[in-house]
A and B are shown apart, each in its own frame.
Chain A
Amino acid sequence: AQKVTQAQTEISVVEKEDVTLDCVYETRDTTYYLFWYKQPPSGELVFLIRRNSFDEQNEISGRYSWNFQKSTSSFNFTITASQVVDSAVYFCALSEHTGNQFYFGTGTSLTVIP
C-alpha cells in the first residue's frame, strides 16, 4: 500500500493565484515525520519543511504554508500568490520513528502560467 499519496499529478495555475498541494499519508507509528521537497526544472531536490507527528501547528513561511491534520492524515501545502518560480515538482514524504525507510509520494507537478 502506498504510504504517501499525492493524488494531484499535475496542476496549472495563473500567476498570483493560490494553490494547494494535497498529501495524504498512512502509518501505524505514533511518532513519525513528514516532509515536503521541491524539484525545480533544474532537477535538484530542495528540502522545504519537516513536521513531527506531535506538532500539529500550522506553519507559514513567506508565501508558503503547511496544514498538518492528524485526524485526516493529511499534510497539505499551500502557495499563496503563486509565481512562475514556483513551477516545479513537489514531493511529500514520510519517515517513521521505528522504521528505516523514507517514503515519497509520486509528486505533483505545478506549472504557474505568467
Chain B
Amino acid sequence: EAQVTQNPRYLITVTGKKLTVTCSQNMNHEYMSWYRQDPGLGLRQIYYSMNVEVTDKGDVPEGYKVSRKEKRNFPLILESPSPNQTSLYFCASSLSLAGGYEQFFGPGTRLTVL
C-alpha cells in the first residue's frame, strides 16, 4: 500500500530534550516536506526537500532541522524543543512539485512540549 508513515503519532516531552520525528514514504517520491498545523494558521511549511541531499527552508524553519540521506526518509529534528513548538506535524511527499503533483500526507504527529 502506497503511504507516508510518521512516528511517533503522539509525543509529550520537556523543553530542551532533543527529539526526532521520522517520516518515510514508499512511493519513490522526489519531493518531501514537513508542515506544522496550528489553530487559525492553517498548515505552514517548515522544510522541504527536492531530492536526496537537497533540502531548503520553508516559511517557519526556526528551531528545526531535517536531513535527506535516502529518498524514502525525511526525519524532522528538534534539537532543543520549546513550548511554542507544541503543534500537529505532518510529513508529505509528492512525485515532484514542478509537475503540479498532489502531496500525500502522513497521519500526523501531535507534539506537546512542556
A100–B45 Cα distance when bound, in Å, is: 11
Interface residues on A, range: 20 to 34
> Which residues of chain A come closer than 8 Å to B40, judged between CB atoms?
9, 106
Q: Which residue of A lies closest to B54 (CB)?
A: A100
Contacts of A43 in B (CB 8 A): 88, 107-108
Mark each residue of chain A from 92 to 107: 1 if its CB lies under 8 Å from any CB of chain B, else 0. 0001010111111111
Q: Is the CB of B100 within 8 A of A102?
A: no
Pick the interface stretch among A44-52, A57-65, A70-78.
A44-52
**Interface contact A100-B108, CB-CB below 8 Å:** no
A25 at the binding interface (Cβ < 8 Å): no
Q: Is the CB of A91 within 8 A of B107?
A: no
A-B residue pairs in contact (CB < 8 Å), sample of 8:
A35-B102, A43-B108, A45-B92, A47-B102, A47-B103, A47-B104, A52-B100, A95-B100
